[in-house]
Amino acid sequence: MVSMTDPKPAPPSGLRKVLPIPSLTPHEDIYTIPNLLTASRLVLAPFIGYAILHDAHAWTLGLFVYAGVSDLLDGWIARRWKLQSVVGSVIDPMADKILMTILTVCLATKGALPVWVAGIILGRDVGLGIAAIYYRWISLPPPKTFMRYWDFSLPSAEVRPTTISKYNTFLQLALMGATVVSPLLTVDVAVALTGLQYTVAATTVWSGLSYVFSKDAVKILSDSKAKKQ
Greater confidence (119 vs 97) lies with: 119
Classify residue 6: in a domain, yes or no.
Answer: no
Q: Which residues contact 184 (CB under 8 A, 6 or more apart)?
A: 57, 58, 61
User: Which structural domain range is residue 161 located in?
Assistant: 28-224
User: Residue 219: helix, strand or coil by DSSP?
Assistant: strand
Task: Answer whether 118's CB lies under 8 Å from 104's CB.
Answer: yes
Specify the CATH number for the domain of residue 195. Answer: 1.20.120
Classify residue 8: in a domain, yes or no.
Answer: no
Classify residue 229: in a domain, yes or no.
Answer: no
User: Residue 73: helix, strand or coil by DSSP?
Assistant: helix
pLDDT in tens, 84-109: 877 777 788 888 889 999 999 999 99
What is the distance between the alpha carbons of residues 109 and 120, in angstroms, rounded to a whole number? Answer: 15
Classify residue 1: in a domain, yes or no.
Answer: no
Classify residue 4: in a domain, yes or no.
Answer: no
- The predicted structure's pLDDT at residue 23: 46
pLDDT, average across residues 208-225 = 72
Q: Which residues contact 177 (CB under 8 A, 6 or more apart)?
A: 64, 68
pTM of the model: 0.72
Classify residue 67: in a domain, yes or no.
Answer: yes
Judged by phi (left if over 0) then psi (alpha if -120 to 50, else beta), residue 82 lies in: left
Classify residue 2: in a domain, yes or no.
Answer: no
Tell me the CA distances in angstroms from 197 to 168, 174, 175, 207, 210, one per residue in order: 12, 10, 7, 15, 20
What is the distance between the alpha carbons of residues 119 and 105, in angstroms, rounded to a whole number? Answer: 9
Count how many domains the chain has: 1
